[in-house]
Amino acid sequence: QVQLVESGGGLVQAGGSLRLSCAASGSIFAINTMGWYRQAPGKQRELLATITNTRYTNYADSVKGRFTISRDNAKNTVYLQMNSLKPEDTAVYYCALDMRVDGEQKKYWGQGTQVTVSS
């Protein structure tokens, strides 16, 4: 079993910063991709950024230049540094881990952490 636990969410003023963390535990293979998503009320879950175990990164246009994803492979932890936050960044933020298990691609999710940006 794989578990993901996010932390670091909270309330911040517009223009401020937050750093989210997501620690993965369990049977995790070295080759994997970790990512951050968010879901605002009434909207679909949105992919924000991904990072492979070789640290190749990819970002959604909506956060490029403001958010930075990073990871510590030794700790199976992924981070999301969020700067210049806007009220529209308010959402529940989820981390995910993708890896191949027994020849099948699987995705695991964390429980989410609330980020609220006040204007």
pLDDT 10s digit of each residue in the chain, 119 long?
899 999 999 999 999 999 999 999 998 888 899 999 999 999 999 999 999 999 999 999 999 999 999 999 999 999 999 999 999 999 999 999 999 999 999 999 999 999 999 99
Strands (E) across the chain are located at 2-7, 10-13, 18-26, 32-39, 46-52, 57-59, 67-72, 77-82, 91-101, 104-109, 113-118
Residue type, 12: V
